Structure 1
Amino acid sequence: MSIQHTVVFRLSHPASSAEEQAFLADARSILSGIPGVGGFTVNRQVSPKSDLTLQFSMIFADQDAYDGYNSHPSHLGFVADRWETEVADFQEYDFVTL
C-alpha cells in the first residue's frame, strides 16, 4: 500500500527570497534523489487561512520505502543541516488510500 508523505511548513526566510529559493532547490535535489522517493513536489500555499506557506509531497510504494527514506543519511543530513535551522514551523501528514 503506497504512502503519501506530506509536510507543510513555513521557513524563517522571506517568501521568494534567495534564501528560500536555495532551500527549496536543495531540498528538491537532495530529497528527490533518495531511493524510494516518487512524485516529489514542492507547492506554495495560496490560502490566507494557514500560516504554513510551503509543502513537500512525495509518494512511497510501501512502508519499507518510507522507512528507508526516514533513515537515509541524505534525509538525516538535510534535517540536521537545513530543516532544523531554517524551518520556523511545520506539520507532517502521512496518508494511505482507503
Structure 2
Amino acid sequence: MVIFDLKHPQGSAEAKRFIADGRRILASIPTVRNFGAFSQVSAKNDYTYGFSMDFASQADYDAYNAHPSHEQFVRERWETEVTRFLEIDFQLPAGAEGGAAE
C-alpha cells in the first residue's frame, strides 16, 4: 500500500487522470493482484489518496518494482506529481496462508 498527496487539487482533472493512469499502468503489470485506487476518508490521517495491491510472493513484488512500466510511471508521473507519500508493506507471518502484500 501507499498513501499519498498530489500537487493537483483534490478532484481536479489532473488528479483524476493521475489516479486513472496509475490504475491502468500499475494493474497491467503481470505480478500485480487486487489493485485498488482509493480516496482517503479517515479523519485519523491527512493523506488524500491510496493505492493498494497484492503479490503472491516476494519475487513477484521484486518483479513489479523492476518492471519497466512501474519504473517509467515512477520516473515520469510519481516523482513529478506526488508531493508526499508513505509506503506500507505487509507480509503474512511465517506459516500463515496467503502471499506477500504491498
Q: TM-score, normalised by structure 2?
A: 0.88
In structure 1, the partner of 2:45 is 50
In structure 1, the partner of 2:85 is 90
Higher normalized strand content (fraction of residues): 1
- CA distance in 1 between partners of 2:88 and 2:66 (Å): 17
Q: TM-score, normalised by structure 1?
A: 0.91
Identical aligned residues as a percent? 54
Deviations 1:52-85 (A, max 9, x none): 1111000000011000000000000000000000
AA matched with 1:92: E
AA matched with 2:70: H
Q: Which runs of 5+ in 2 are unaligned?
A: 94-102
- CA distance in 2 between partners of 1:87 and 1:48 (Å): 21
- CA distance in 1 between partners of 2:81 and 2:46 (Å): 16
By how many angstroms is 1:47 displaced?
Answer: 2.1
Q: How many residues are paired up?
A: 93
- CA distance in 1 between partners of 2:53 and 2:47 (Å): 18
Q: Which runs of 5+ in 1 are unaligned?
A: 1-5
- CA distance in 2 between partners of 1:64 and 1:49 (Å): 33
Larger relative contact order, structure 1 or 2 (CA cutoff 8 Å, min sep 6): 1
By how many angstroms is 1:96 displaced?
Answer: 1.2
AA matched with 2:86: Q
- CA distance in 1 between partners of 2:82 and 2:38 (Å): 15
In structure 2, the partner of 1:13 is 8
By how many angstroms is 1:50 displaced?
Answer: 2.0
Q: Secondary structure at the match of 2:35?
A: strand
Q: Which has the larger radius of gyration?
A: 2
